[in-house]
Amino acid sequence: MTAPLLAVERMTIGRPGAPPVVADMSFRIGAGERLALVGESGSGKTMSALAVIGLLPAGFRVTGGAIRFDGVAVDTAAPAMRARRGKDVAIVFQDPMTSLNPVMRIGAQIVEAIEAHDPGIDRAAARRRAIELLDAVRIAKAAERVDAYPHEFSGGMRQRVTIAIALANRPRLLIADEPTTALDVTTQTQILALMDELCRAHGTGLLLITHDLGLAQSCCDRICVLYGGRVMETGPIARVLARPDHPYTAALLRSVPPGDRDVEWLEPIAGEPPRIQADGRRCRFAGRCAHRFERCLSHDPVPVATGPDAMAACHLLQPSAGRGP
Amino acid sequence: MSPPDAPPLELSQLSLRYPGSGRDATPVVRAVSLRCDAGRTLGLVGESGSGKTTLARAIFGMVPAASGTVRVFGREWTDLDAAARKRMRRRVQMVFQDPYASLNPMMTIGEAIAEPLVVHGLGDRAARAARVGELLGLVGLPADYASRYPAQLSGGQRQRVAIARALSPGPELLVCDEPVSALDVSVQAQILNLLKSLQQRLGLAMLFISHDLAVIRFIAHAIAVIQEGRIVEQGPRAQVLDAPRHPYTRALFAAGLTRSIGAAAAGAARIPDDPGLGRTT
């Protein structure tokens, strides 16, 4: 069996002296596979992605577990490894208004990314490549627009440019952190379709980070549902969304307003997501779960297999756990 | 005095320009006519830059009309003297998108909710305290939250406080501008249920602004779709949802449906290219 492109194994992220923000996080992405990391604020989805690309905020470290790329463990702090990953792994952030340099022409920003990993390339070739990339992300009249500034573009077009920059060095894994949250609904669909198409065409793996289950469904093969810094459930996306095994996934799906039919009332989840990971000896979702029993408050559930390539961490699914009287 | 049969909100052929943009600037809202009736919710759906928020500001007289009229309970802000304007403000309140920005961090929750009562000279200290307790209960918060500060509350709790504050002077028209889009997914349903039940219990007229058609479908009796400052389609909910006539409404639906859970995921790759390609905003 070949090693997956990316394997995150029991990763813990934290600051010295503080409870971890991510604990025991495991997920993997095969070559060309598309995985959605779905969660609310505080779920650890962005921290996990930043750890993978070596961009954790100051003070935060991977304190346990491993991140493997092609089966080789990567040291998240080593600069050499970071440079390599800049070529193999690229990231697109939420807000194209802030991730582009406002005083630099679009083309120059793409050329900068190309030269960072291919220092020998000559100027004219880099520029030609920049135009090709703009064309690939469907910017009309790419040869003219390569000299435009970011403010001359709409939000959707700016996000196309950041995708062009991310794909400049033909990465094997593209991380997209809420890539469409700042965009309009109709533009969102186009940007997702574009990422989807480009990843398929080049066999690029996609790690999509989002809070939106519908968005995840529209362009991913597998889903990993996070809550309070833990994996609640993971599996093929169609199956997880159609037949969720974890009470959190099920409750979340029930709470979303259906767009295709009328309902009198929604079914909310009581309470709010935890802001601080305090107690390691209980299920993170126990406080809001309608199915809670004693064990949920005294033991953190371990993930159990729930189907082919699917797992969920819930005491209800433990074969040995008695529900108690 | 308001004309007795006047609707809580009526916009007629309203055009708006950004303040300071000059008389020749292109209006951001163009010839909009809308009406919001007592006890009903009008959902205004559109994307960013479509003019929804500018329109909301005009309802409060914060943006002057370039042409056309805004009538609140039958009256135009410009026809009211200062005292009448203040009395009118009591009847129209607003809930904003970001509950982190809309509450003063130095004020306790109780002070924030009581402030509109103080401004409008309603009740003495004891009556106001009782009203704060009542309002906290109405939005599903314990009475002892009155002594807490916003920083001690979560996003959903803050939005409940913002709703209580908007309701405190007893408005008859409530304008909600994207009131759940800054909240966590698992919290949005709580706030949507709360707003719908308050609208029903208090018989409010509500203008609910959102970019999310699924949210509008849940909350609104009538729907208006705004694109680039123009209303491209409006009507009763069922009519707009079941038989959308304008291509833009259909495009919004298509985009929303690809994302509704359980719907066939196939449509995502079939969306045409960016219609905004020529846009230079």
Flag if B189 and A219 touch (Cβ within 8 Å). no
Cβ-nearest to B189 among A186, A217, A266: A266
pLDDT at A63 over 80: yes
Q: What pLDDT was estimated at residue A17? A: 86
- The residues, ordered by sequence, that sit 6+ positions from B262 with a Cβ below 8 Å of its Cβ are A241, A242
Give the 3-state secondary structure of residue A307. Answer: strand
Cβ-nearest to A189 among B211, B213, B271: B271
Q: What pLDDT was estimated at residue B170? A: 95
Q: Would A134 be classed as within a structural domain? A: no
Q: Under a CB-based contact definition with an 8 Å cutoff, are residues A222 and A237 in contact?
A: yes
Give the 3-state secondary structure of residue A157. Answer: helix
- Tokens representing A89 are 């792994």
Instruction: Print burial letters for A255-276: b (CB count within 10 Å at least 16), e (below 16).
Output: bbbbbeeeeeebebbeebbbee
CA distances from A247 to A67, A228, A230, A252, B119 (A): 28, 14, 14, 8, 47
Show residues of chain B in contact with A159, CB under 8 Å. none
Query: What string of DSSP letters covers A84-130?
Result: HHHHHEEEE-S-HHHHS-TTS-HHHHHHHHHHHH-TT--HHHHHHHH
User: What percentage of chain B carries pLDDT values higher than 70?
Assistant: 90
CATH code, domain with A160? 3.40.50.300
Domains of chain B: 76-218 (3.40.50.300)
The DSSP H or E segment spanning A61 is strand A61-69
pLDDT at B194 over 80: yes
Cα–Cα distance measured from residue B70 to residue B129, given in angstroms and rounded to the nearest whole number: 35
Show residues of chain B in contact with A189, CB under 8 Å. 254-255, 258-259, 268, 271
Cα–Cα distance measured from residue A242 to residue A213, given in angstroms and rounded to the nearest whole number: 12
Flag if A193 and B271 touch (Cβ within 8 Å). yes
Q: What pLDDT was estimated at residue A81? A: 63
pLDDT at B265 over 60: no
Give the 3-state secondary structure of residue A26. Answer: strand
Flag if A256 and B262 touch (Cβ within 8 Å). no
Tell me: the pLDDT tens digits for A83-115?
666 678 999 988 877 889 999 999 999 999 999
Number of domain units in chain A = 1
Flag if B193 and A268 touch (Cβ within 8 Å). yes
Sign of CA dihedral B243, B247, B248, B254: positive
Flag if A212 and B259 touch (Cβ within 8 Å). yes
Distance from CA of A129 to the nearest CA of B (A): 21
Give the number of other Cβ atoms within 10 Å of residue A180's Cβ. 24
**β-sheet with A22-29: strand ranges across:** A22-29, A6-14, A61-69, A72-73
- Tokens representing A69 are 């790329």
Predicted-complex ipTM score: 0.84
Flag if A154 and B279 touch (Cβ within 8 Å). yes
Any A CB within 8 A of B151 CB:
no
Q: Choose from B141, B274, B281 for mutation: most chain A CBs within 10 A.
A: B274
Cα–Cα distance measured from residue B81 to residue B60, given in angstroms and rounded to the nearest whole number: 15
Q: Would A234 be classed as within a structural domain? A: yes
Residue-number span of the structural domain to which A61 is assigned = 6-103+149-317
Cα–Cα distance measured from residue A41 to residue A181, given in angstroms and rounded to the nearest whole number: 14
Q: Which of A16-25, A206-215, B72-81, B267-276 has the lowest mean pLDDT?
A: B267-276
Flag if A192 and B262 touch (Cβ within 8 Å). no
Flag if B261 and A267 touch (Cβ within 8 Å). no
- Tokens representing A207 are 């790690």
Distance of CA A27 to the CA centre of its chain: 11
Q: Would A137 be classed as within a structural domain? A: no
Q: Would A237 be classed as within a structural domain? A: yes
Sign of CA dihedral B246, B249, B254, B260: negative
Chain B residues 239-258 within an 8 A CB cutoff of chain A: 251-252, 254-258
The DSSP H or E segment spanning B166 is helix B155-167
Cα–Cα distance measured from residue A117 to residue A84, given in angstroms and rounded to the nearest whole number: 9
Cα–Cα distance measured from residue B86 to residue A41, given in angstroms and rounded to the nearest whole number: 40
Q: Would A307 be classed as within a structural domain? A: yes
Q: Would A122 be classed as within a structural domain? A: no
Tell me: the pLDDT tens digits for B116-129?
999 999 999 999 99
Q: Would A126 be classed as within a structural domain? A: no
Show residues of chain A in contact with B155, CB under 8 Å. 272
Q: Under a CB-based contact definition with an 8 Å cutoff, are residues B161 and B107 in contact?
A: no
Cα–Cα distance measured from residue A12 to residue A99, given in angstroms and rounded to the nearest whole number: 27
Q: Would A128 be classed as within a structural domain? A: no
Flag if A152 and B269 touch (Cβ within 8 Å). no
Q: Which amino acid is at A193?
A: A
Q: Which of A263-272, B69-78, B246-255 has the lowest mean pLDDT?
A: B246-255
- Tokens representing B221 are 């009796």
Query: Beta partners for A36?
Result: A208, A223
For chain A, the distance separating the N- and C-terminal CA atoms, rounded to the nearest angstrom, is 45
Tell me: the pLDDT tens digits for A277-287?
656 688 999 99
Q: Under a CB-based contact definition with an 8 Å cutoff, are residues B267 and B258 in contact?
A: yes
Cα–Cα distance measured from residue B261 to residue B244, given in angstroms and rounded to the nearest whole number: 21
